[in-house]
Amino acid sequence: MTRHQLLDSPSPSLWFFMRAHRIYQMEMKLEQKDAADWVYRGEGAANLVLSYTGSSPLFIGKVMRIQKTARNGSSHCLEDHTVLTEHERLLWKESEELVSSSTKELAELHYVKHVMTPLLGPKHVDAGMHVVTSSEFLESIEKKVVCQRPAWRVDAAKVDTKCDFVLLMTDHSLFPNGTAKVGPCISVEIKPKCGFLPLSRFIAEKNAIKRSTTRFRMHQVLKLRQHEISELSQYDPLDIFSGSKERIYKALNDLYSTPQNNFRVFLNGSIIFGGLGGGTNKTSIVIGKAFESALKEVIQADDGLRTRSFIELVAETVYNSQVLDQLLEVQKLDNFDIEGAIHAYYNIISQPCMVCREFDEARVPHGYASLHSIPLSESLKIVKDYLIAATAKDCSLMISFKPRDDGDFGSPYGHIHIKSTNQNFDYKVNFIDLDLKPLKKMETYYEKDKKILNAYAQMGETKHMKGNTSMEVYETIK
């Protein structure tokens, strides 16, 4: 590791100094030999995440988020590392730091810092910091982790070795104590997805099902058909966002039964439940037993009773912290639905509307035509809010718990008590994956919406012949 300037005598307080003074990029470079200290933690569609195992105080308690690049050029990854497009600069013009960013990576960081953090609360978001890397460092990481990655993720994308930055963030599966010694700490990662039913008047009558069935549940049918999942999830996002204790318990039980990519659990930073880097199947008895046993370190209950107490811990925290209320508000910035927002998108890019083009000129529904005569400022607001909501619908939250020491009254963390074991825990909640969605994705969103609806309608048609409603069908094929 090459250090310059500030970093001759690194200390944990330096990290806070840099954040406090808005120094988002460390004056250091990670070299090939540094790769030995980083191990695979997980990944999503766009990024690979590693955790630190070395002894440098600068990196203890941190994870590294590395961008991936598509193998076939058509993945989710941000292929284009130039800064925002002309239209994106227009869209985000109120966030000066974002539009004047010199690289796409810095734009992403400023988006989290200046757009998402004020909406979700600074207590729950860490925008992270960029660190320069050599391509040799990234190549070593790529080789080192390839065998731990899910095969389908390996086929889809690899580490982007041309990208010379990585993002360093707080490891939210741990509690900071400034040393390499961890634990006991248990954390849960939940990807709750969209928690409301759209009400927009721009939803076409033929798509009215969107007003009564969540996108998540309809999307499950498409995912099943495309073999992305092997069974339908029992989870319904409306439960976890409901504010009702009973329904939150139900959501947690359903997430536990069918975790897919919506639920994971880590013990002292290592995964003990759910799939690394992708989805996972229905929880089997074997997995259930192993999980029960892993919980021993933190849940003081007899064999067979720990999972239930763990679910109580998470459900009570979701209910008491009310953290999902804030997330739901941000998701609801999408109040036009993609069926309305898509027209505003074409106004912004000054292109003929591909949706209205499908209608005879005289038959364009009045509502859509009216969207094409609103001022540009309104179109910008509609699309900007839609994209912010898209980030909020795709992010995850990590809730971490550590047993609370008796008499610890000055703790900066939340406090939760579970009745079943009479235990007290400190907890903290953080949002992760608050990525900026590219403007050009609006067209993909429109197409995907149609695809999801078609798959759901087709399932309904097949089964309706037997006299069932779509909901009953969902329940029976689940």
Ligand X SMILES: O=P(O)(O)O[C@@H]1[C@@H](OP(=O)(O)O)[C@H](OP(=O)(O)O)[C@H](O)[C@H](OP(=O)(O)O)[C@H]1OP(=O)(O)O
In the complex, the residues that contact ligand ATP under the rule CB under 6 A are: 41-47, 49, 63, 65, 169-173, 189, 264, 394, 396, 398, 432-433, 435
* Closest to 51 in 3D by CA, of 63, 65, 42: 63
Say how far apart CA 470 and CA 459 lie, in whole Å.
8
Q: Answer yes or no whether residue 45 interacts with ligand X by CB under 6 A.
A: yes
User: DSSP secondary structure string, 383-412?
Assistant: HHHHHHHHHHHH-EEEEEEEEPPTT--S-S
CB atoms within 10 A of CB 104: 19
State which of residues 44, 195, 237, 274 lies at the interface with ligand X (CB under 6 A): 44
Q: In which residue are the tokens 């609370």 written?
A: 404
Q: CA torsion sign, 118 to 119 to 123 to 128?
A: negative
Q: Please tell me whether residue 188 adopts helix, strand or coil conformation.
A: strand
- Among the candidate windows 41-49, 88-96, 131-139, 399-407, which touches ligand X by CB under 6 A? 41-49
Cβ burial 145-159 (10 Å sphere, 16+ → b, else e): beeebbeebbebbbb
* Closest to 115 in 3D by CA, of 358, 436, 445, 406: 436
- Among the candidate windows 188-196, 318-326, 341-349, 455-463, which touches Zn ion by CB under 5 A? 341-349
- Among the candidate windows 38-46, 60-68, 244-252, 280-288, which touches ligand X by CB under 6 A? 38-46
Say how far apart CA 135 and CA 161 lie, in whole Å.
5
Q: Which positions from 362 through 391 interact with Zn ion, judged by CB under 5 A?
A: 368
Long-range (24+ apart) CB contacts under 8 A made by 148-156 are 148/40, 148/276, 149/40, 149/43, 149/48, 149/277, 150/275, 150/276, 150/277, 150/278, 152/278, 153/43, 153/277, 153/278, 155/71, 156/45, 156/70, 156/71, 156/72, 156/75
Q: Which positions from 377 through 396 interact with ligand X, judged by CB under 6 A?
A: 390, 394
Least distance between ligand ATP and beta carbon 126 (Å): 7
User: DSSP secondary structure string, 322-359?
Assistant: -HHHHHHHHHTT--SHHHHHHHHHHHHHT---TTGGGS
Helix (H), strand (E) at residue 417: strand 414-418
| Residue 356 touches which of ligand X, ligand ATP, Zn ion, none (Cβ within 5-8 Å per kind) | Zn ion
Binding residues for ligand X, rule CB under 6 A, total 12
Least distance between ligand X and beta carbon 163 (Å): 15
Looking at the Cβ atoms of 25 and 170, the one nearer to ligand ATP is 170
| Residue 343 touches which of ligand X, Zn ion, ligand ATP, none (Cβ within 5-8 Å per kind) | Zn ion
Q: Answer yes or no whether residue 452 interacts with ligand X by CB under 6 A.
A: no
- Among the candidate windows 21-29, 299-307, 413-421, 435-443, which touches ligand X by CB under 6 A? 435-443
| Residue 390 touches which of Zn ion, ligand X, ligand ATP, none (Cβ within 5-8 Å per kind) | ligand X
State which of residues 30, 35, 46, 380 lies at the interface with ligand X (CB under 6 A): 46
| Residue 437 touches which of ligand X, ligand ATP, Zn ion, none (Cβ within 5-8 Å per kind) | ligand X
| Residue 43 touches which of ligand ATP, ligand X, Zn ion, none (Cβ within 5-8 Å per kind) | ligand ATP
State which of residues 356, 387, 416, 459 lies at the interface with Zn ion (CB under 5 A): 356
Residue 341 tokens, joined = 């927002």
State which of residues 105, 142, 435, 449 lies at the interface with ligand X (CB under 6 A): 435
Residue type (1 letter), 335: N
Q: Which positions from 109 through 168 interact with ligand X, judged by CB under 6 A?
A: none
CB 102 within 8 A of CB 71: no
Q: Answer yes or no whether residue 437 interacts with ligand X by CB under 6 A.
A: yes
Instruction: Give every CB contact of residue 475 below 8 A, 6+ residues apart in sequence.
Output: none
Q: In which residue are the tokens 């048609």 written?
A: 461
CB 90 within 8 A of CB 345: no
| Residue 172 touches which of ligand ATP, Zn ion, ligand X, none (Cβ within 5-8 Å per kind) | ligand ATP
Looking at the Cβ atoms of 46 and 232, the one nearer to ligand ATP is 46
Q: Which positions from 205 through 234 interact with ligand X, judged by CB under 6 A?
A: 219
| Residue 237 touches which of Zn ion, ligand ATP, ligand X, none (Cβ within 5-8 Å per kind) | none
Closest CB to Zn ion belongs to which residue?
353
Q: Which residues bind ligand X (CB under 6 A)?
A: 44-46, 76, 219, 261, 390, 394, 435, 437, 441, 448
Q: Which residues bind Zn ion (CB under 5 A)?
A: 343, 353, 355-356, 368
